[in-house]
Structure 1
């Protein structure tokens, strides 16, 4: 099958970047500076199904730390301190805690730092593909659990406030797990505002027909390296269509985080790491 000039050039650039790192003066910036330039994205979530009691309620999402691949425990501690300063009502982690669980040294501080995170309405997480990879499934589950995070693996939790509630559901990883949307949403109601956590964003094409109002994903790293005129250079499978930011898909709002760490290539260029804070706002009919 013939390839277009744009695809050819994009593939060539990937090879060049991978072989040389990022050449010239850009190397130091992309390798050491931008990966530490954490940004905070804020999004309003407006919907008629959000109860009045949830006015101003905040959900903080962080994703894809990839500890062990040029992201160490000291960087993670700075991240935790930044999250704590935001005082979110709920914290969600959307996968890929460690880059390679089978070789990573699980520093004793990791559990302490996870446990340090506080959110009055709970802390929740889902598996990413790297969490299942390298025989890490049970180890990551142990670490996150000891850190006070509740796993949502094809299940949901009802967040209750002043006699009203919303639904927070989570799926197993799409690539290496066994996702089951039917189980995750079992015994929920279409009348309840429902947020779904799924690691891979392109899965939204499968789930927008379900009674889900918002999907929060990571996995893409925002492409990690973005070049004007060429776009995203590093997009993993199932994060090639929806790469970063907000996408409106019929009745589903998809939000894709660039995440925190890096993988495959230790660079970020024009693609700063980020965490997201969502502000719930009841919308009048």
Structure 2
């Protein structure tokens, strides 16, 4: 009986640490299209917070972001959770990180599901966040430029393919924030350079050697759950995210902050 109790305590400790510790994953993206003046640009990606809390006033999460010293911060949806909607808790993070670097945001399916998405966007705009709802923004540096595109979650009623079709093709190196990794082929077909995505929660339960077990939009043994995927000239970075939603725990799947550095070839 005591042995079983010890086993249960150890398993509980592993699950707690595995759901409350934040892992930083560093990815380098190199391309001939990256302008020389953007060489070394660092981006922190926050995805799928789902109203999770990491320390008092989100101190542990904010500390991780600060430590990365980003030039830009991308929030790729599901900042809140529609099942336990607590906008104030998630805005606590945003209020602090807007002081670190410019913040760009796109919706996930949970923001749309609240039926309060306009209010969420308004609050973020008030904090100085760039809300990219099927919009683009050009960043210039010493005469050179890159483009940032944000795709609204398709639960809003506009498919990702239709949203992307409205953007003109340019020679600018293009970074895209889009919540859904299962739309990878749409990103490839539109010849996008780098897509930042989330939604899959790393497959929720990660099986060593096999990957994630289940993901929304992809079902069992999903293809796109974590890390870097490449096809032709398109790269997609999928964050495992930070929080949980319907399934309340992760297994072998630590909450993740992604740090991407651009390298000009």
The two structures have a TM-score, normalised by structure 2, of 0.87
Given that 1:91 and 1:119 are in contact with CA atoms closer than 8 Å, whether structure 2 keeps it comes out as no
Residues 137, 148 of structure 2: 8 Å contact kept:
yes
Q: What runs of 5+ residues in structure 2 fail to find an aligned partner?
A: 1-6
- How far the C-alpha of 1:163 sits from its partner, in A, is 1.0
Aligned mate of 2:43, from 33, 43, 59: 59
Q: Which runs of 5+ in 1 are unaligned?
A: 1-22
- In the alignment, what sits opposite 1:106? 87
Structure-to-structure mapping, 1:113-192, within 5 angstroms: 113-118=93-98, 122-178=102-158, 179=160, 180-183=163-166, 185-186=167-168, 189=170, 191-192=171-172
8 A contact 2:73–2:102 mirrored in 1: yes
RMSD, aligned α-carbons: 2.4
CA contact (8 A) 1:121 1:159 kept: no
Cα–Cα, structure 1 residues 174 and 29, in superposed 2: closer, same or farther, change >3 Å?
Answer: farther
Q: 2:65 is paired with a residue of what secondary structure?
A: helix
Equivalent pairs counted in the alignment come to 254
**What CA distance in whole angstroms lies between the structure 2 residues aligned with 1:134 and 1:112?**
19
1:224 lines up with 2:204 in the alignment: yes
When you count strand as a share of all residues, which structure comes out higher? Answer: 2
Q: Which residue of 1 aligns with 2:32?
A: 48
Q: Please, which moves more after superposition, 35-44 or 229-238? A: 229-238
**Match in the other structure for 1:262:** 244
| Residue 125 of structure 1, CA deviation | 0.4
The 1:140–1:281 alpha-carbon spacing in structure 2 relative to 1, beyond 3 Å, is same
Q: 2:67 aligned with 1:85, yes or no?
A: yes
Asked if residue 214 in structure 1 is aligned to residue 194 in structure 2, the reply is: yes
